[in-house]
Amino acid sequence: MILILVHVIIAVLIVWFIFIFNALVRHKIRVSDAWSQIDVQLKRRHDLIPNLVEAVKGYMAYEKDTLERVIKARTQAVDASGLKDKAQAENFLTQTLRSLFAVAERYPELKANQNVLKLQEELISTENKIAFARQYYNDEVRLYNTKIQVVPSNIVAGVCGFQKRDFFEIENIAEKEAPKVQF
Amino acid sequence: MSFSFIDIEESKNRIIFVVFIFIVLFYFLTTYLILVILENSLVPSSVLSRRGFFFPPASHALIVLIAAFFIALLHWVISTNRLIEKMAQAAGARPIDENDIYHQYFKNIVDEVSVAIGGRKIEAMVIPSAGTNAFALQDFNRRSVIGVTEGLLARLNRPQIEAVVAHEAAHIVCGDSLLATVITSLSELYEEALFKMKAALRGSRGRGSALFFLLYIVLLGMNTLSKMLHFFLSRQREYRADAVGTRLTRNPLSLAEALRLISEHWRGSGAEGARLESIFIVNPRHSWLDEREGLLSIMFSTHPPIKKRINLLLNMAHMDDKTLEANLKNFKRVSPVALAQFKVSEDEEPKKWFVFQESKWQGPFLFDEIMQLEGLRPDHWVRPEGLSRVIPAYEDKELKNIFLKSDGEITEPVCPHCKTGLSEFSYEGVHIFKCSFCSGIFLDHDKISRILIRKDMEFCKEVKKLGETIIKGKKKFILKNKAAKSAWVMDCPRCKQKMHRQFFVYSYPVEIERCLFCSGVWFDKQELEILQYLFENQEQLFAKL
């Protein structure tokens, strides 16, 4: 009788273990999906910047420094690897872009060129996408981190070696009272 | 909030199952009722008076149930096949035009929001209507569509459109759109059946018609009941979609502004599918129930009162109604269209240039003429008229646009007057063809409504004057022109058929040439601007009638 009971308990425990393990794996996959979304958008941002610089170059001959800083920051951001480094490089790029937009306000001719305007719209859209992708990623990371820390799933997480993931913190270009970026 | 968008997905299937059961029940009841009536009427009246009312045995009921199940299945398959195409067609929505600047930026916004919900693809569509509204559709293959009207694109600014799109995306991720799309397309069938029966009822008399009438009543009852259920659900869902949408954009204020602006404008009643209320963000049919709370509106209105929705959103933003009013008063849209194209024709003497070509000074040329000059390179010397300064062409502020511009290439359509190629242009964000010499404009008929709705350009004095003249003497103007010409005139720039000269419509008496084969329309110089002027001053125009 007791033997049967022990068997039943062990079976229930195993099923429960598998159940929780699968849930954790699903969460983990969602987190990495969310991360790949950020990666796609960051890459798009890096692809757009040279085009934008090329388009405004003709108008902003006196702003060589600003433009060069943007290009340099972009190269750094492309080369960066690892979550922390990436966040730092992207933040630096955001700052240089912000100063570029601030300077651009002084050149009304820029707004007369549909090509430049289109590139700016694309860049703004990409910035928004980065912000949204980051928001989604951080939401998923929060769910996942909570899951591996609360009882009882923390036991399974501990046994199977699920690691906590870091949040991705970067600045949004529209945040803070810097120059107005409305096109 | 701890729910993830993927979790919600799973609860949808249950709702769909309930809807299906509902249809089975509906067919069971109607068929059973017919059976009861039939079996009673087949029994001779002498037997009936002896035995009383006759109920069919349980085995019959079972057969009816099985039959009802298969009919319901058929109904389901028919109405959910090609769901999105059918619904989009009913709402009058079309895929976006890749060349249109407004449409491009609307697509960007939809893409942004689709990133926010985890990278799920959403298609963008536009309804060519001056109304202000938005909708979301979804089918079983997880294909989803978000659409807005041209009026909404032209009147709201970027954050506001984003808030509206996020609201619609919330409907999609929460499964409301799937439910609404399915139910609306199902009730489409009910309505059709009801309509046909109504017509049949008028023609018939006698015993058969009594039966028919009963069936009609049952159908009507079922239709109303299912609608009421759906209305109730849909109203609760609007609040939730507002909340989830705000969670996506983290910007409740913009949604409140958008709702206020939408409620102030014409919502496009009549233009869009009449029975599709519940897929839109605000009810396209303006009804007295809209802003009321009470039993009647709880039973029959599809959307909650907008005032209440705005107040909830303002609460989220920790703001009150006054701030919203102040915000909207200072509200200014930033146009996505390049500023240079705002100035179409100046009132002053147009600028001219001399060009140094083939070792002598030529000209002076107008800007449009220079664009047509062959072999002009950025390093050619030019001299603006009235100035002694000689500069290379690429240094001139206006001329360098010729070299920078990627559009402006000469293409196939040919000006019917000048017989030269038309250049591609962007006017109010719409992709059009323009003749550089006579300033005539050629475009597709369905693009006109977009241009009329948008107000990025300012009118020059000449257009204003001409517009005023037409408004003042409208009747005379129409009579005079009507007698004079209504004829087949020049060749269509695209398909070379004869175009028909006519008024745009009699309420806006601007003469256009219309091709009846390819639906292209030709506007002579400034005619399009005058049409826009008349459209924007339409109240004045109708007052004169």
Q: What is the chain A residue with the closest CA to B398?
A: A109
Q: Contact at 8 Å (CB) between A21 and A156?
A: yes
Q: Check if A125 contacts B (Cβ < 8 Å).
A: yes
Q: Check if A30 contacts B (Cβ < 8 Å).
A: yes
| Residue partners of B65: CB distance under 8 A and separation at least 6 | B28
Torsion of CA A119, B427, B272, B521, to 10 degrees: -140
Q: Is there a contact between B426 and A139 if contact means CB atoms under 8 Å apart? A: no
Residue B355 is assigned to a structural domain of this protein: yes
Which of A119-128, B227-236, B500-509: highest mean pLDDT? A119-128
Say yes or no to pLDDT of A41 above 70.
Answer: yes
Say yes or no to pLDDT of B524 above 50.
Answer: yes
Both B256 and B325 in one domain: the answer is yes
Distance from CA of A8 to the nearest CA of B (A): 31
Q: Which residue has the higher pLDDT, B431 or B210?
A: B431
- For chain B, the domain total comes to 3
Q: What is the chain B residue with the closest CA to A115?
A: B405
Q: Is there a contact between A139 and B4 if contact means CB atoms under 8 Å apart? A: yes
Of the candidates A114, A122, A135, which has its C-beta nearest B426's C-beta?
A114
Residue B461 is assigned to a structural domain of this protein: yes
pTM higher than 0.80 for the full model?
A: no
Q: Is there a contact between B118 and A37 if contact means CB atoms under 8 Å apart? A: yes
Say yes or no to pLDDT of B409 above 70.
Answer: no
Mean pLDDT confidence for B102-111: 92
Distance from CA of B251 to the nearest CA of A (A): 13
Both B114 and B255 in one domain: the answer is yes
pLDDT at B182: 74
pLDDT at B271: 42
Average pLDDT, chain B: 74
pLDDT at A172: 66
Q: How confident is the model at residue B206 (pLDDT cuts 50, 70, 90)?
A: low
Q: Is there a contact between B336 and A117 if contact means CB atoms under 8 Å apart? A: yes
Say yes or no to pLDDT of B223 above 90.
Answer: no
Write out residues 45-74 of A within 8 Å (CB-CB) of B. Answer: 58
Mean pLDDT confidence for A73-91: 87
Distance from CA of A131 to the nearest CA of B (A): 8
Distance from CA of A43 to the nearest CA of B (A): 15
Query: Is ipTM strictly over 0.90?
Result: no
User: Which residues of chain B have a CB within 8 Å of the CB of A139?
Assistant: 4
Both B258 and B126 in one domain: the answer is yes
Q: Kindly tell me the burial class for residue A151, based on how many C-beta atoms sit within 10 Å of its own C-beta (0-12, 13-18, 19 or more).
A: exposed
Residue B101 is assigned to a structural domain of this protein: yes
Q: Which of A130-134, A151-155, B160-164, B183-187 has the lowest mean pLDDT?
A: B183-187
Domain extent at residue B159: 83-181+234-336
Q: Which residue has the higher pLDDT, B403 or B352?
A: B352
Say yes or no to pLDDT of B407 above 60.
Answer: no
User: Which residues of chain A have a CB within 8 Å of the CB of B119?
Assistant: 33, 37, 133, 136
Both B329 and B370 in one domain: the answer is no
DSSP symbols for B302-347: SS--HHHHHHHHHHHTT--HHHHHHHHHT--PPPSS-GGGG-SS-S
Q: Is there a contact between B2 and A143 if contact means CB atoms under 8 Å apart? A: yes
Q: Is there a contact between A132 and B6 if contact means CB atoms under 8 Å apart? A: no
Q: Is there a contact between A129 and B111 if contact means CB atoms under 8 Å apart? A: yes
pLDDT at B163: 93
Residue B76 is assigned to a structural domain of this protein: no
Helix, strand, coil distribution of chain B in percent, nearest 5: 55, 15, 30
Q: What is the chain B residue with the closest CA to A127?
A: B112
pLDDT at B162: 92
Of the candidates A115, A121, A139, which has its C-beta nearest B108's C-beta?
A121
Q: What is the chain A residue with the closest CA to B341?
A: A112
Angstrom distance (rounded) from CA B255 to CA B163: 5
Say yes or no to pLDDT of B274 above 70.
Answer: no
User: Which residues of chain B have a CB within 8 Å of the CB of A121?
Assistant: 104-105, 108, 336
For a pLDDT cut of 70, what percent of chain B falls above it?
Answer: 70
Of the candidates A33, A109, A129, which has its C-beta nearest B397's C-beta?
A109
Both B302 and B269 in one domain: the answer is yes
Both B490 and B371 in one domain: the answer is no
pLDDT at B362: 73
Distance from CA of B398 to the nearest CA of A (A): 10
Q: What is the pLDDT of residues B337-391, one digit of tens each?
A: 765 544 444 445 567 777 777 777 777 777 767 766 666 666 677 777 766 667 7
Give start and end residues of each alpha helix (H) in A150-181: 153-160
Place of tokens 């697509």: B107
In the sheet that holds B488-491, the strands lie side by side as B410-414, B421-427, B430-434, B441-444, B520-523, B508-514, B498-505, B488-491
Distance from CA of A61 to the nearest CA of B (A): 12
Distance from CA of A110 to the nearest CA of B (A): 9
Both B142 and B91 in one domain: the answer is yes
H or E, element range at B511: strand B508-514
Residue B28 is assigned to a structural domain of this protein: no
Q: Which of A5-9, A125-129, B190-194, B432-436 has the lowest mean pLDDT?
A: B190-194
Q: What is the pLDDT of residues A105-160, one digit of tens each?
A: 788 777 777 778 888 888 889 988 998 999 899 989 999 999 989 988 888 888 88
Both B260 and B158 in one domain: the answer is yes
Angstrom distance (rounded) from CA B308 to CA B291: 9
Q: Is there a contact between B6 and A139 if contact means CB atoms under 8 Å apart? A: no
Q: Contact at 8 Å (CB) between A171 and A91?
A: yes
Residue B341 is assigned to a structural domain of this protein: no
Say yes or no to pLDDT of B4 above 60.
Answer: no
Q: Which residues of B388-413 are buried (b: 16+ CB within 10 A; e: fewer)?
A: eeeeebbebeebbbbebbeebeeeeb
User: Which residues of chain A have a CB within 8 Å of the CB of B401?
Assistant: 112-113
pLDDT at B484: 52
Mean pLDDT confidence for B460-468: 81
Q: Which residue has the higher pLDDT, B6 or A21?
A: A21
User: Which residues of chain B have a CB within 8 Å of the CB of A108?
Assistant: 339
Q: Contact at 8 Å (CB) between A103 and A81?
A: no
Q: What is the pLDDT of residues B50-83, one digit of tens each?
A: 656 666 677 878 888 888 888 888 877 877 778 8
Q: What is the chain A residue with the closest CA to B394?
A: A58
CATH architecture of the domain with residue range A19-160: Up-down Bundle (1.20)
| Residue partners of B114: CB distance under 8 A and separation at least 6 | B120, B121, B122, B169
Identify the residue among A26, A105, A132, A134 best suited for mutation to test binding to B, counting B beta carbons within 10 A and taking the highest.
A132
Both B533 and B460 in one domain: the answer is yes
Q: What is the pLDDT of residues A156-183, one digit of tens each?
A: 888 888 888 888 877 766 554 433 444 4
How many residue contacts between A and B have a Cβ separation below 8 Å?
78
Q: Is there a contact between B6 and A30 if contact means CB atoms under 8 Å apart? A: yes
Q: Check if A150 contacts B (Cβ < 8 Å).
A: no
Identify the residue among B106, B108, B112, B428 best suited for mutation to test binding to A, counting A beta carbons within 10 A and taking the highest.
B112
Both B373 and B292 in one domain: the answer is no
Say yes or no to pLDDT of A58 above 70.
Answer: yes
Q: Contact at 8 Å (CB) between B423 and B442?
A: no
Residue B383 is assigned to a structural domain of this protein: yes
Angstrom distance (rounded) from CA B172 to CA B142: 9
Q: Check if A108 contacts B (Cβ < 8 Å).
A: yes
Distance from CA of B1 to the nearest CA of A (A): 10
Both B374 and B427 in one domain: the answer is no
Both B420 and B462 in one domain: the answer is yes
Say yes or no to pLDDT of B523 above 50.
Answer: yes
Q: What is the chain A residue with the closest CA to B337?
A: A114
Q: Is there a contact between B101 and A114 if contact means CB atoms under 8 Å apart? A: yes
pLDDT at B284: 61
Name the amino acid, one letter, at B357. Answer: Q
pLDDT at B361: 75
Q: What is the chain A residue with the closest CA to B247?
A: A135
Residue B364 is assigned to a structural domain of this protein: yes
